[in-house]
């Protein structure tokens, strides 16, 4: 379980507390090398369009480490939150101050006001649908809907959608041409990340390409749009961990994982935006496709349990 928008499915504190108690002993076995590597996985996959939920669930199991535990993953993902806020700090300050000035001047066509309103409205869908699913499926986190096979098919499905967006997207609009409706449409796409394996950044970047945004613009706005969702989910999980405690997890590996996640989150954000300024998303299309097929093969071959 991770600090992505997927965790809006887990806003029921009772469910998280019950799982935390059972996973704390697993997290206590994490050594420094494993902690660093798990932080690397979290940092890289949180913002690349390949799904951090899927990778943090599949890779540790395939390496024989088992589930690192809710408490451990919840804490190291604070690093991703810090990284994205740090990277976009100037943008956030500009949007907030610019929006306030626009409201005072009644200049509702200003770029900053449109960005702020788009982000605000775009955050509503993932919160709404996350809470709705939580009410309709109380034990969703342990349901077959979050199994390895579902992750695999979600990864493959999003690979096809991203490839289609690459083919038909016009990629004509830059950051200055963003509209409020772009935030709403990408926010609706962001809600798809409630399905494990979809990827919050993957769904929003794909939507951005479909509505004609340049690749780098789609990625940049995807990250800005994700800040409220990631932060809200992070606060919920942190509160749960603080209430229940971190069990027997050694402090030093925990710090190593946290710092590793922060560093690699920052680097992945910077790299992706720069990469998409001149290159396509096809590398992620093929990766997602291969990743999904690999999971299916491992499950059907008995190497992975479909849990």
37-92 pLDDT, tens digit each: 999 999 999 999 999 988 998 999 888 888 787 678 878 889 999 999 999 999 99
Provide the 3-class DSSP secondary structure of residue 213: strand
**What is the share, in percent, of the chain residues with pLDDT greater than 70?**
88
Confidence (pLDDT) at 145:
81
Q: Answer positive or negative: Cα dihedral of 251, 255, 256, 257.
A: positive
DSSP 237-274: HHHHHHHH--TT--HHHHHHHHHHHHHHHHHHHHHHHH
- If phi > 0 it is left, if psi is from -120 to 50 it is alpha, else beta; for residue 275 that is alpha
Confidence (pLDDT) at 234:
77
- Give the separation between CA 225 and CA 217, rounded to whole angstroms: 12
116-165 pLDDT, tens digit each: 999 999 999 999 998 898 888 877 767 788 899 999 999 999 999 999 99
Quote the Cα angle for 151-157-142, to 5°: 20
Q: What is the residue whose two structure tokens read 């704390």?
A: 24
- Give the separation between CA 284 and CA 139, rounded to whole angstroms: 32
Confidence grade of residue 34 (pLDDT, cut at 50, 70, 90): very high
The lowest-confidence range among 35-49, 82-96, 197-211, 248-262 is: 248-262
pTM as predicted: 0.87
Confidence (pLDDT) at 240:
67
Q: What tokens appear for 202 in the block? A: 């993957």
| Bridge partners of residue 213, in order along the sequence | 173
Q: What is the mean pLDDT of residues 98-102?
A: 95
| Bridge partners of residue 173, in order along the sequence | 213
Q: With contact defined as beta carbons under 8 Å apart, do 217 and 208 qualify?
A: yes
- Give the separation between CA 118 and CA 185, rounded to whole angstroms: 9
Confidence grade of residue 247 (pLDDT, cut at 50, 70, 90): low
């Amino acid at each position: 379980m991770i600090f992505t928008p997927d965790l809006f499915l887990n806003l029921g504190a009772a469910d998280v507390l019950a799982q935390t108690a059972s996973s704390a002993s697993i997290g206590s076995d994490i050594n420094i090398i494993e902690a660093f590597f798990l932080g690397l996985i979290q940092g890289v996959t949180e913002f690349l369009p390949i799904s951090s939920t899927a990778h943090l669930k599949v890779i540790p199991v395939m390496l024989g480490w088992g589930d690192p535990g809710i408490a451990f993953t919840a804490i190291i993902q604070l690093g991703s939150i810090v990284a994205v806020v740090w990277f976009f700090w100037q943008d956030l300050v500009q949007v907030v101050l610019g929006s306030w000035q626009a409201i005072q001047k009644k200049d509702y066509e200003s770029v900053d006001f449109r960005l702020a309103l788009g982000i605000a409205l775009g955050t509503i869908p993932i919160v709404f649908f996350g809470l709705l699913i939580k009410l309709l499926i109380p034990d969703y986190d342990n349901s077959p809907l979050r199994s390895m096979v579902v992750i695999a098919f979600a990864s493959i499905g999003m690979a096809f959608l991203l490839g289609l967006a690459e083919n038909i997207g016009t990629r004509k609009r830059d950051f200055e041409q963003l509209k409020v409706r772009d935030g709403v449409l990408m926010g609706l796409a962001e809600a798809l990340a409630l399905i494990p394996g979809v990827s919050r950044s993957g769904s929003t970047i794909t939507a951005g390409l479909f509505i004609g945004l340049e690749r780098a613009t789609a990625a940049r706005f995807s990250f800005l749009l994700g800040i409220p969702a990631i932060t809200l989910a992070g606060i919920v999980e942190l509160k749960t961990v603080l209430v229940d405690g971190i069990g027997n997890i050694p402090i030093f590996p925990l710090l190593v994982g946290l710092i590793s996640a922060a560093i690699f989150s920052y680097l992945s954000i910077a790299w992706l935006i720069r990469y998409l300024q001149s290159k396509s998303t096809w590398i992620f299309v093929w990766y997602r496709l291969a990743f999904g097929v690999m999971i299916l093969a491992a499950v059907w071959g008995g190497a992975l349990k479909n849990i």
